[in-house]
Amino acid sequence: GGDATYGNVIEWVLVGAGGGGGQSFGGAGGAGGYRFNGAYDHTVTTQTYAVVIGTRGAENNSGGDSTFDSLTSTGGGFGGWAGRAGDTGGCGGGGSGHPGSGGAGEGNNPATTAPGSPGSASQGYDGGAGQDSPPTGYPGGGGGGAGGVGVTGASGTSGGDGAQNDITGTATYYSPGGGGHKQGGGGDGGEGGGGNLDGG
């Protein structure tokens, strides 16, 4: 709170925990919500602040929220399974690919919303919908990421890309979405290290 250079203001990045993938014909978990201020404009005082780091979501479970001061980044939504939709979250989980019908992808924000806008609820993008399509292996939807929506297609399924931030001095990806299940193979996580979901 009394830094000689920055005074009583800080720059921050806050990331929620990623959601878990679905268990059967599963969609991918969405990335944890990504928020940042991008400038030294958050006022602090000389005291101890509690910082809570969200716990990653297990299978069929959403990720935990991360909090600091008055700020919260929501955990990522879980991936759908057995025809279910993915869950909402900081970034949405992908929908299941089967049975009966492909589950819808879910999310916190539409693809037209910029991620991480200061002072807004925007934290990430939607997960992709699953496809009930035997010829393409019933692909589950990719999880949403901080930089883009989860994708589902005949050639595979992939998580939404993460978003880059250079708060550490090096441009680093945060909150990439996971890759969804596809019968006989798994989808790739989004740019920046999103989890790859195995096929089966």
Question: How far is the C-alpha of 67 from the C-alpha of 196, rounded, in Å?
Answer: 27
DSSP for the chain, please give it: --BTTTBTEE--EEEPPPPPPPSSSPPPPPPPPEEE--SS-EE--SS---EEPPPPP-TT-PPPPEEETTEEEPPPPPPP-TTPPPPPSSSPPPPP--SSSPPPP--SS-TTSPTT-TTSS----PPPPP---GGGT-PPPPPP-SSS--EEETTEEEPPP-EEE-TTSS-EEE-PPPPPEETTEEPBPPTTTPPPPPP-
Is it the case that residue 49 has pLDDT exceeding 60? yes
Please check whether residue 83 is in contact with residue 103, taking contact to mean a CB–CB distance below 8 angstroms: yes
What would the pLDDT profile of 68-126 be if each residue is shown by its tens digit? 998 999 999 998 888 888 888 899 888 888 765 556 565 544 333 333 333 335 798 88
Per-residue confidence (pLDDT) for residue 185, from 0 to 100? 67
Tens digits of per-residue pLDDT, 149-193?
888 765 567 888 999 999 999 999 999 998 887 777 666 677 666
Q: What are residue 140's phi and psi, to 5 degrees?
A: -80, 155
